[in-house]
Amino acid sequence: MKIYSWNVNGLRAIAQKGFGEWLEGCGGDIVGLQEVRSLPDQLDAQTRAPAGWWTHFSPAERKGYSGVALYARRAPDEITTSLGAGRYDVEGRVQLARWGELTVANVYFPNGSGPNRDNSRVAFKLAFYRKLYEQLNADKIAGKPILVMGDFNTAPKEIDLARPKENRKTSGFLLEECEEVDRWLRGKWTDTFRHFYPEREGAYSWWSQRFNVRAKNIGWRLDLVLASKGAMPFVKGAFIESGVMGSDHCPVGVEVDEAVVG
C-alpha cells in the first residue's frame, strides 16, 4: 500500500494545477490532504468525488480556512473527525480513519505564529499536539498499527530546515515545538522518513513562496508520517516527492505491507 500526505494550500486552487492528474497517477491507496480551505459543495464534481475513489471532507467552520480531506481506494471501516474538544474540532484539522487493524490519522497541526506572526498561537498548537497524543495513546500502547501523517508545522531537528540558526525564534522551529515532537519520538513513535534516511540533508517538504527559495531548495521538512511501534514492522519505505508542484508543500508518504490492515 502507498499512503500519501499533502498540504495542498487550497484544494480549489490546486485542482486547476493538475491535482486530478496527479491523484490518478500517484499510485496511492490512501491520500490525506491538509489545508483544503473548501467546503465540499464548493468543489467541482471531479475533485469532490473522482471515479474509483472514496472521499471524505472535514472543513473548518470558518470559510476558506484549514480543513482536511481523505481520498482512498476503498472506504474505511470507521472514521471520526473529533478530538472531543470544540476549540480544535471547529478548525477541521483531524480525520481518524480505520481500515481493519490500521488507523490513519490525517492531521493539519496548527501554526503557532498567529495572525500577526507573533507566536501567539504556540500554546494552542502545543495543546493540540498533546490532545491528539492522548487520544491515540491507549491504542498505541496496546500495539495497534497507527500512522499519524500531515503538516506538523514543526521541523523536528536542525537537519530538517535549511537555516536552523536564523529560525530558532520562528514558529515551526521554536525549542518548545521541537521538544513536543521529540516527546512523541521518545514515546515510541517513529519518524518514518528519518528511520530510512537518518542523515539525508536537503530533504524538505515546504518552501516559502517568496524569493524563489524553492528553486534554491531553502526549505523546511514540516510534513511527516509518524508510525506507532505496532505499525513499524509493516512500513517498507518513506518518501518525499519534492518535484511535485502546485502547492508550497510537496507530497510525502510511506509504503506499507498491506498485511497491516489484518
Q: What pLDDT, in 10s, does the model give residues 33-43?
A: 999 999 999 99
The pLDDT, as a whole number, for residue 233 is: 98
Tell me how far apart the alpha carbons of residues 225 and 151 are, in angstroms, rounded to a whole number.
9
Tens digit of each residue's pLDDT (9 = 90 or more) over 181-205 = 999 999 999 999 999 999 999 999 9
Domain map of the chain by residue range? 2-261
Amino acid identity, position 241: E
Tens digit of each residue's pLDDT (9 = 90 or more) over 90-148 = 999 999 999 999 999 999 999 999 888 899 999 999 999 999 999 999 999 999 999 99
What is the mean predicted confidence (pLDDT) over 68-72? 98
Which H or E element spans position 45?
A: helix 45-48
Split at pLDDT 50, 70, 90, the class of 4 is very high
Catalytic residue among 151, 160, 191, 223: 151
The pLDDT, as a whole number, for residue 2 is: 98
Closest CA to 223 of 8, 2, 51: 8
| Cα 182 to Cα 36, 38, 99, 202, distances in angstroms | 27, 32, 28, 20
- Is 118 designated active site? no
Contacts of 98 (CB under 8 A, 6+ apart): 76, 77, 78, 79, 104
Closest CA to 170 of 110, 108, 225, 111: 111
Whole-angstrom Cα Rg for the chain: 17
* Grid-cell match 476503498, residue found: 74
Amino acid identity, position 150: G
The pLDDT, as a whole number, for residue 115 is: 85
Tens digit of each residue's pLDDT (9 = 90 or more) over 220-247 = 999 999 999 999 999 999 999 999 999 9
Q: Which fold has domain 2-261?
A: Deoxyribonuclease I; Chain A (3.60.10)
The pLDDT, as a whole number, for residue 114 is: 85
Return the C-alpha cell found at 4: 500519501
Residue 239 DSSP code: E
